[in-house]
Amino acid sequence: MEAKDLKTELIVIGGSAGSLQVILETIKNLNGDLGFPIVLVLHRKAQAESILPKLLQQFSTIDVIEIEDKTEILNNKIYIVPSDYHLLFESRNVVSLDGSEKMNYSRPSIDVTFRSAAEIFEESVIGVLLSGANSDGVEGLKYIKKNKGQVWIQDPETADVDYMPRQAIQNVKYDLIVRPDNLANYINELK
C-alpha cells in the first residue's frame, strides 16, 4: 500500500460476529499517541449497562469511552457506539446518537456511521470492516471510497465469520486487505 500524503483524522472500525477478538488484539498493540480518534461500531445486543468499554479498557493504554449524545470526539481516544443507537457525525468534533429504525437488521448500523464519517471527514477518514455475518458496512465503505477516504477490509481467510468482509471485497474498491495480527501496525504507521 502506498501511504497517502493526507493526514488521517479518523478511523472508523465496523464489525459484527467474530470481530471482538480482532478489536482486542488491535487495541492492545496501539501506540498511545495516534493523533486521531478511533470509533468502533460493533453489532451487539441492547442491554442496560454495557460491559464492553470496561472490557476493552483492560486491553488498552488508550482511553476507551462509550459515546453519549453530543460527545466531543478527541484525538488519542477510542470511542464505542452504544448498542441500540446509530452514530452520526455532526462535525469533526461532535457526534449525535439516533434511535431510528434498524438498517441491515442492526442498530448501530455500520453503514450509517461510515456514511456520516465520509460526509464530514472525506479523504481523511479510513473505514475498516471486520468479521461479520451480514453485509452491513459494504454501502458505507462505498461511500467512504466515493469521498476519497481509504477502505481497509479484514482478510476473509482470517475472519471467524467471513460473509461481511467477502461482500466488501466483492463490491468495494479497497486500499488494503488486513490480517488481525498486523492491523495495529498499519494504524500505528499512519500520520
Provide the pLDDT for residue 119: 98
What mean pLDDT comes out for the span 1-16?
79
Provide the pLDDT for residue 50: 78
Residue 136 annotated as catalytic: yes
Residue 86 annotated as catalytic: no
What mean pLDDT comes out for the span 33-47?
91
Could you tell me if 144 and 128 are in contact, meaning their C-beta atoms sit under 8 angstroms apart? Answer: no
* pLDDT bucket at 4, cuts 50 / 70 / 90: very low
Q: Is 3 left (phi over 0), alpha (psi -120 to 50) or beta?
A: beta
* pLDDT bucket at 179, cuts 50 / 70 / 90: very high
Q: 133 exposed, middle or buried (CB, 10 Å; 0-12, 13-18, 19+)? A: middle
Provide the pLDDT for residue 164: 97
From first CA to last CA, the distance across the chain in angstroms is: 14
Kindly tell me if the per-residue pLDDT of 139 is higher than 50: yes
- Active-site residue, selected from the candidate residues 106, 124, 135, 136: 136
* pLDDT bucket at 48, cuts 50 / 70 / 90: low
Percent residues over pLDDT 70 in the chain: 96
- Active-site residue, selected from the candidate residues 19, 43, 111, 116: 43
Residue 50 annotated as catalytic: no
- Active-site residue, selected from the candidate residues 16, 60, 106, 116: 16
Provide the whole-model pTM: 0.95
Provide the pLDDT for residue 163: 97
Take residue 110 and report the three cell numbers written for it.
Answer: 455500520
pLDDT tens-place string over residues 63-109: 999 999 999 999 999 999 999 999 999 999 999 999 999 988 899 99
Provide the pLDDT for residue 2: 44
Q: Report all structural domains of the chain as residue ranges with CATH numbers, in order of start.
A: 10-188 (3.40.50.180)
Chain mean pLDDT for the chain: 94
What mean pLDDT comes out for the span 6-31?
95
